[in-house]
Structure 1
Amino acid sequence: MRYQSTRGQVRDITFKDAVMMGLADDGGLLLPEEIPRLTPGDLEVLEKLAYPELAFQIISRFATDIPSADLTELIHRSYASFSHPDITPLVHKNGVYILELFHGPTLAFKDVALQFLGNLFEYLLKERNEKMNILGATSGDTGSAAIYGVRGKENLNIFILHPHKKVSPIQELQMTTVTDANVFNLAITGTFDDGQRIVKEVFGDLQFKSLHALGAVNSINWARVLAQVVYYFYAWGEVRRQTGCREIYFSVPTGNFGDIFAGYIAKKMGLPIRRLILATNENNILARFVRKGDYSIGDVVQTPSPSMDIQLASNFERYLFYLYGGDAHRVVAAMESFSKNGSLRFDDAERKTVEEDFLALSVDTSQTLATIADFHEKTGYVLDPHTAVGVHAGQALCGGDFPVVCLATAHPAKFGDAVQQAIGCDPERPESLLGIEEKEKRCEIIAADTEAIKAFVALHAL
């Protein structure tokens, strides 16, 4: 399997090189040159597999340059840190299926990919006798998951930008209480979109990127998306066994288009997904794109679901590449236009294609809190606010003819204030969060400025 950039200037590179490159050197995002297609017979085999074996069967189709024994070991080591034997268990509540993606070390879906990516980085660096300085931005969960994925690992430093006081208190503590020598937390005086922009600008300085051996853990790294493809197959297999249904919906709370893009790749591989439901909060650029063909940025609104408080969806360019039929020149022109004007428009044929892939709904704060309260009253189950956005959208848009799987992206204890507001009591804390407020913290507050970040990285890089 070889990889190419959405912007056409990087082609014919291996999976290993794609992982190490992160953001393509031409400023685009890396994608496989072709998507493996699975037959109905393949799906019948996959639906019977336990999670690690399923992960191997999916990932190995894209990572053809990693020996099978090595890939198997990486996958098993990555998921040994999860607290549930099923890794991503599926539960049925109030007419919807909840895919619990929060049983990793930081209680968020990002662990599924970042435990794997951290081990993959260490493996590749040892193989190449190289060092890496990881740079990433987070709206909350990516940062802690990335930090836990690489803390204490050899030949790796990690620099994570988060918007100062714009993530949940637990999210902030999960990052800043990791005091390993190779971890650097940077609280920028701006928004997540500022952090994401800074990371792209730093990676766009190819001389700086090469000099300091920069690597990416944001979902601009293809390995992040690939690892998330697996749980769509897992959930489909579970629902298929329980109901016999072949087609299902997935409802995905998303701000950065990474998690739902993984579902789109699963669909292109042949997984019988009827529609992907794109659920946003008030930061609804993606929902407007699906419903109206309007991809235009606005001001970031702070909500109880802060990991989705995003206006610039970094993975959108990958979908744009497919929407434009693989025309890299159109992608470059569109991204240049968007950079200048802050908006893109789509014709009727393109909108029809989008509507065949997605349904979408924007769910506001009052609806989010009401969903948490109503779901808890009916089932006793506590949703975190991001998952509640997905549950509300799934219930609103699907009529019940086919099963709906809602992705539970975080443990409710990470967003205790929102849960308390909704149901009148705090969610029970898992053991990993007990006493976290009393732990030693380390964090640097820094301007949301590309040159300031580059100077800090240069000073502390391996």
Structure 2
Amino acid sequence: MKYISTRGNAPELEFEDVLLAGLASDGGLYVPKDLPHYSLDTIRSWRGLSYSKLAFKIIQPFVGGAIDDAALQQMLDDTYDNFGHKAVAPLTQLDNNEYVLELFQGPTLAFKDFALQLLGRLLDHVLTKRNERAVIVGATSGDTGSAAIEGCKHSEFVDIFIMHPHNRVSEVQRKQMTTVLSDNVYNIAVEGNFDDCQNMVKACFADQGFLRGERRLVAVNSINWARIMAQVVYYFYASLNLGGPDRSLSFSVPTGNFGDIFAGYLAKNMGLPIDQLIVATNKNDILHRTISQNRYEKHALAHTLTPSMDIVVSSNFERLLFDIYGRDGQLLADLMTRMNSEPVELDSARMAKVRELFDSHAVDDPQTCATIATVFAETGYLLDPHTAIGVVAARACRRHSDRPMVTLGTAHPVKFGEAINKAGLATPALPHHMADLLEREERCSLLPNSLAAVQAFVVKNVFDA
């Protein structure tokens, strides 16, 4: 399997190098040069497979022989055996043909665990093989950080630095990160917002000179292809458990950075029958405005009850645009330059293609809370606020009531007590494995919104500690 950059001016890489590279050298994102495609008969033959066995079927072609099949299967078994439900991604029914796919059964209670618990194992395998040390610099709006830390805290070959916007993540989200006291884990609270953190990550990858050529910089954000690859699996898993591939499903996906729903787009292109892919956003609705109004324009960041989606720039949208623009890297590079500096409209033919693939809907905080309260009253099921946005979007955009509609349940409601309380409900208890979380000792460094300050902090702790 070869991988190419969306901007067309970086070398083709194989899986190991893409895993370690993150961002391409030309500033683009890596995507497979060719996507595997499965017949309905092949997909049908996967019915009844456990989650980890299904994951092997889907992920193995992307790895392309870089990891021995037995070793890859063992990594997948170890990853998903660590989830709190034997089904790994159980489905809960809300109404006739309406479901929530529970993606919060992992150790940090968020969908990021599906990829990041595997990513830690992949990094350990490759870095051990190469006898290399790496530095992770990541940004989180809430859930990526804790999942990355959990996945990498035991690694002998990785120092991990995670930035989060100061006072802009929930208390549970913060504590899940800052109470991990492993020697290789560093939490940074940045006096800025998530996009400031994400921009500093991209700047670090664009110029890695601050690491003196002595360490490799590795990405854990969804710019890393391995993140997207692992998320493709649960679309197939949901389908196979609801009559697929002999019936088509629709998915509503709460998304800020476009990575989770891009995985659904890939699943569809790999042969999975999908009727609709619905982009569900909060007030930070650049994706919804682009799809509904054909205007890609940055607005000031709004802080909401769904902080994991408080993002102005959706990085993975570039991967979709690469396909929409005929995989022409130069055309896309020019487009991304304009998108970073001015409002942009796509030409009508390309916009029509986007709308053929995606529906979208934006939801404000009051509607989010009302939906949490209504669904709980009707079913006794407690939605986290991000999943509630997905449910609203699913009901608003649904075209066919006779086809299953699956909303991706992206996080456990315990992580977002403020939203649950504003819905008039009591915050649920923390799961038993983290019952004492709020009393645990924290370790975190507060830094200014400054790339120089962050890089100096990394250098001090990597080289001078």
Using the size of structure 1 for normalisation, the TM-score is 0.97
Structure 1 residue 375: Cα displacement? 0.2
C-alpha distance in 2, partners of 1:222/1:250?
A: 21
Contact (CA 8 Å) 2:208, 2:217: kept in 1 or not? no
C-alpha distance in 1, partners of 2:81/2:137?
A: 26
Q: Match for 2:231 among 228, 231, 235? A: 228
Contact (CA 8 Å) 1:382, 1:412: kept in 2 or not? yes
1:398 is matched with which residue?
A: 398
Contact (CA 8 Å) 1:94, 1:375: kept in 2 or not? no
Unaligned runs of 5+ residues in structure 2 are: none
Q: Matches of residues 209-248 of structure 1 in structure 2 within 5 Å? A: 210-240=213-243, 246-248=247-249
Contact (CA 8 Å) 2:5, 2:12: kept in 1 or not? no
C-alpha distance in 1, partners of 2:268/2:449?
A: 38
Contact (CA 8 Å) 2:163, 2:187: kept in 1 or not? yes
Q: Matches of residues 170-249 of structure 1 in structure 2 within 5 Å? A: 170-208=172-210, 210-240=213-243, 246-249=247-250
C-alpha distance in 2, partners of 1:47/1:290?
A: 34
1:277 is matched with which residue?
A: 278
Structure 1 position 302 matched with structure 2 position 318:
no
C-alpha distance in 2, partners of 1:412/1:245?
A: 33
2:437 is matched with which residue?
A: 436
SS of equivalent to 1:224: helix
C-alpha distance in 2, partners of 1:220/1:99?
A: 24
Contact (CA 8 Å) 2:306, 2:386: kept in 1 or not? yes
More off after superposition, 42-51 vs 124-133? 42-51
2:92 is matched with which residue?
A: 91
C-alpha distance in 2, partners of 1:308/1:423?
A: 22
Structure 1 residue 127: Cα displacement? 0.4
1:79 is matched with which residue?
A: 80
Structure 1 residue 155: Cα displacement? 0.9
C-alpha spacing 1:324/1:205, structure 2 compared with 1 (3 Å): same
Aligned partner letter, 1:24: A
C-alpha distance in 1, partners of 2:429/2:413?
A: 8
2:358 is matched with which residue?
A: 358
C-alpha distance in 1, partners of 2:354/2:115?
A: 26
SS of equivalent to 1:367: helix
Give per-residue Cα distances to partners, 1:31-73, cap 9 Å, x unaligned: 0001111111111112331100000000001111221011111
Q: Matches of residues 20-419 of structure 1 in structure 2 within 5 Å? A: 20-64=20-64, 65-95=66-96, 96-208=98-210, 210-240=213-243, 246-341=247-342, 343-399=343-399, 400-419=401-420
SS of equivalent to 2:243: helix
SS of equivalent to 2:441: coil
RMSD: 1.2
Residues paired across the two proteins, number? 459
Contact (CA 8 Å) 1:132, 1:213: kept in 2 or not? yes
C-alpha distance in 1, partners of 2:7/2:397?
A: 35
Unaligned runs of 5+ residues in structure 1 are: none
C-alpha distance in 2, partners of 1:429/1:273?
A: 35
C-alpha distance in 1, partners of 2:228/2:379?
A: 32
Aligned partner letter, 1:445: L
Give per-residue Cα distances to partners, 1:249-285, cap 9 Å, x unaligned: 1000000001001111111111111110000000000
C-alpha distance in 1, partners of 2:199/2:357?
A: 28
The percent of aligned pairs where both chains have the same amino acid is: 47
More off after superposition, 222-231 vs 348-357? 348-357
Contact (CA 8 Å) 1:212, 1:458: kept in 2 or not? no
Structure 1 residue 434: Cα displacement? 1.3
Aligned partner letter, 1:35: L
Aligned partner letter, 1:205: D
C-alpha distance in 1, partners of 2:353/2:417?
A: 39
